[in-house]
Structure 1
Amino acid sequence: MLTLNWSGKMKFTAHTESNHEVVMDAYTDVGGEDSAARPMEVLLAALAGCTAMDVISILEKMKTTPRDFKIEISYTKAKEHPKVYTDIHLKYIFYGNVPKENAEKAVNLSQTKYCSVSAMLRKAANITYELVFES
């Protein structure tokens, strides 16, 4: 179970089932103190974390762990409330000697089979991705 506690103004702390905390706040112009990420930002962070864990796990099983790895996410939101994400684009950036076919397989498996956050968001948004290889 997840519980959410109000910390005053527009600040909230979620206490997760795994006994960790996620703090969220709002911009000052809507009553927050701008002290933490917004809930929609946390949602994108969850997407990035979910697919990144899949990709690294799969690549490690292939014995092709990258030297470094990151994901950049760009997005478009609806103009009217609720301002949901309508388009989400993930840029997977691999550093080091990662064979292209291994990276493509890992990302594809994450996006089509394993990442539950992607699966949920795909019901509301168009999710696209690209792979970039850096030395």
Structure 2
Amino acid sequence: MKASIRWLDGMAFEGRTGSGHSVTVDGPPDLGGRDRGPRPMELLLLGVGTCSAVDVVHILQRGRHPVSDCEVDVAAERRDEPPKVFTHIHLHFRVSGSGLKPEAVARAVRLSAEKYCSASIMLGQAAEITHDHEVVEV
């Protein structure tokens, strides 16, 4: 995998992925950022949440479970002093489907957390990561 980052101005940067997608990332206002995009640490949370969500949906679909939606709320705590690393990250999954079995969702979340989600497993080396879920009948 590769990525490139180019300084735009102020504290804004354009990140370009190896697959050709780009995102503007901006620093916080106290460092000169102008709210032109997410902060770098916010992108880490989006990455871990999305990585896990992809796993959960894929596992459920592969098992032919009737999943119709998946949302993940990610909340994190950081150290107060530099380096302000994450100390705790919690992922809450809301998975919807008609007749979707709670045990299937629990298994998918567990497999993502313990085996498949590279982002979660990597960040788990530095922060405590917890997960929970709910099943929404549609």
* TM-score, scaled to structure 2: 0.93
In the alignment, the residues of structure 1 paired with residue 74 and residue 95 of structure 2 have an alpha-carbon distance, to the nearest angstrom, of: 15
- Percentage identity across aligned positions? 37
In the aligned structure 2, how far is the partner of 1:28 from the partner of 1:44?
Answer: 20
Equivalences, count: 135
SS in structure 1 of the partner of residue 9 of structure 2: coil
Paired residues for 1:53-132 under 5 Å: 53-96=54-97, 97-132=99-134
Distance in 1 of aligned mates of 2:48 and 2:26: 19
Would you say the 8 A contact 2:26–2:35 is kept in 1? yes
| 4+ residue segments displaced more than 2 Å | none
* 2:94/2:136 contact within 8 Å kept: yes
Normalized per residue, the structure richer in strand is 2
Deviation at 1:134, TM superposition (A): 2.1
1:23-38 equivalence runs, <5 A: 23-38=24-39
Unpaired runs of 5+ residues, structure 2, are none
Contact 2:105 2:135 in 1 (8 A): no
Q: CA deviation at 1:50?
A: 0.5
1:56 and 1:65 in contact (8 A); partners too: no
Mark the runs of 5 or more structure 1 residues left unpaired by the alignment. none
The CA distance in 2 between the partners of 1:72 and 1:92, in whole Å, is 7
